[in-house]
Amino acid sequence: DIQMTQSPASLSASLGETVTIECRASEDIYSNLAWYQQKPGNSPQLLIYDANSLADGVPSRFSGSGSGTQYSLKINSLQSEDVASYFCQQYNNYPFTFGSGTKLEIK
């Protein structure tokens, strides 16, 4: 199975700041990577797919980048509604696997 190592596990930032979350795959996943946002008590929602494509309705302050085994999610101009957990997921190989998550809080 492909292991997805996500960092940091938690993150505290101020409103308006830019934050970056990293995800490393244990082997090349050829940009078949998604990022999800999960607000407390809610289902995960797709933010980014194919490593850098914005899902429908997602604000442009979210962006994804990376290739091979290294990927990142950047959130510009942090808003209060961005408080959530964020997960990466590879869909290049079965079984599809997720990172353990990053919990984002506002300072």
Which residues make up the interface to another protein (CB under 8 A)?
Answer: 1, 32, 34, 36, 43-46, 49, 55, 87, 89, 91-92, 94-101
The least CB distance from residue 94 to another protein, in Å, is 6
The least CB distance from residue 59 to another protein, in Å, is 17
Q: Which residue number, 19 or 64, has a Cβ lying nearer to another protein?
A: 64
Angle at 37 between CA 73 and CA 13, to 5 degrees: 60
Please report where in the chains the tokens 């082997």 appear, as a residue. 27
The least CB distance from residue 14 to another protein, in Å, is 25
* Beta bridge pairs of residue 4: 25
